C-alpha cells in the first residue's frame, strides 16, 4: 500500500516500489511490467500518476516502451569504449551477446555530394548502400546506414552482410583497416527509425557518423548509425 499522507509524492513512491521489484528479481531484464491500467487498479491512483512514474523510470533507463507491446525492464546498457575500432559484431561477441542483423536495403547507387567527397570518389563512381538493423540477443540496438565504394568491394553481397563487414574487408578482400574519424551527437529519433527500433516518440538516440580508412589512408566506409540511448553508454579514458 502507498502512504498517501506522506510528503513523498505518490508517483515517487510508485517509482521506488517498481525499482525495488526490479532489483529483487520480480521483474528481470526483458520482462514486461504490469500495464498502466493494472498498476492504476493495484495502487488505487490515477492513470496520470502511474504514467508519470513509468515515464521517469524510462528516462532513467530502467524501463523501455515498445509500441503496441507494453513496457519492459531494460537490459543493462552496453558499455562501448570510444578508443579502438571494432565492428558491432565483434563488440557484441566480446560481451557474450549474440549479434544479428536485419537487412533492410542493399544495392548500388550514386552517392550524394557529401558522401562522394568523404569517400574521395569521382563523379561517375558508385557506392553500395547498406541499411541494417543491428540486434544483440534479439533486441534492436541500432540502425546502420553504410556507404562503401563498389570499386573496392565488387564481391560484396547479402550473404557477407549477415556477418561482420570488417571480417570481410580484412579477410576476403584482404585489405588492412587503419582507423577512422568519428563524430557523435544526441538527437530525438526520427519517426521512421522509431518504428524500426521499437520505441515510441519522443525518444533519445545517439547519432554516430564515421569515416573509416584503410592503412594506406584510402577511405573505404562512411557509416551513419542511430543507437538507442537506453541501450548504450560510451566511455573514454583521458589523461591530462
User: For the chain, which residues make up each domain, given as ranges?
Assistant: 10-73, 78-235
Q: Which residues pair with 138 in a beta bridge?
A: none
Q: Does the pTM exceed 0.75?
A: no
Q: How far apart are CA 38 and CA 36, in angstroms?
A: 5
- The predicted-structure confidence for 53-90, as pLDDT tens digits, reads as follows 999 998 888 898 887 889 999 877 776 666 667 778 88
pLDDT over threshold 80, residue 237: no
By percentage, how much of the chain surpasses pLDDT 90?
Answer: 65
More confident residue, 184 or 96: 184
CATH architecture of 78-235: 3-Layer(aba) Sandwich (3.40)
Establish whether domains 10-73 and 78-235 are of one fold.
Answer: no
Q: What is the pLDDT of residues 140-197, one digit of tens each?
A: 999 999 999 999 999 999 999 988 899 999 999 999 999 999 999 999 999 999 999 9
User: Is the pLDDT assigned to residue 96 strictly greater than 70?
Assistant: yes
CB under 8 Å to 138, separation ≥6 — which residues?
98, 100
- Whole-number pLDDT of residue 8: 92
Select the CATH number that applies to the domain covering 10-73 from these four: 3.10.20.30, 1.10.10.10, 3.40.50.720, 3.40.1350.10: 1.10.10.10
Amino acid at each position: 500500500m502507498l502512504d498517501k499522507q506522506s510528503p513523498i509524492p505518490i508517483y515517487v513512491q510508485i517509482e521506488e516500489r517498481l525499482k525495488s521489484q526490479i532489483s529483487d528479481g520480480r521483474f528481470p531484464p526483458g520482462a514486461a511490467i504490469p500495464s498502466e491500467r493494472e498498476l492504476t487498479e493495484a495502487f488505487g491512483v490515477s492513470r496520470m500518476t502511474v504514467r508519470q512514474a513509468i515515464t521517469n523510470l524510462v528516462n532513467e533507463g530502467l524501463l523501455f516502451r515498445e509500441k503496441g507491446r507494453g513496457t519492459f525492464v531494460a537490459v543493462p546498457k552496453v558499455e562501448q569504449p570510444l578508443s579502438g575500432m571494432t565492428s558491432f559484431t565483434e563488440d557484441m561477441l566480446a560481451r557474450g551477446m549474440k549479434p544479428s542483423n536485419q537487412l533492410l536495403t542493399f544495392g548500388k547507387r550514386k552517392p550524394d555530394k557529401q558522401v562522394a567527397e568523404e569517400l574521395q570518389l569521382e563523379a561517375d563512381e558508385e557506392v553500395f548502400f547498406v541499411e541494417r538493423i543491428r540486434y544483440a540477443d534479439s533486441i534492436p540496438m541500432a540502425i546502420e546506414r553504410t556507404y562503401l565504394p563498389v570499386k573496392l568491394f565488387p564481391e560484396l553481397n547479402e550473404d557477407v552482410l549477415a556477418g561482420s563487414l570488417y571480417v570481410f574487408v580484412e579477410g576476403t578482400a584482404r585489405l588492412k583497416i587503419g582507423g577512422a574519424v568519428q563524430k557523435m551527437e544526441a538527437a530525438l529519433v526520427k519517426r521512421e527509425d522509431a518504428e524500426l527500433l521499437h520505441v515510441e516518440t519522443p525518444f533519445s538516440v545517439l547519432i554516430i557518423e564515421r569515416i573509416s580508412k584503410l592503412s594506406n589512408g584510402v577511405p573505404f566506409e562512411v557509416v551513419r548509425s542511430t543507437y538507442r540511448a537506453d541501450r548504450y553508454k560510451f566511455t573514454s579514458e583521458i589523461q591530462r
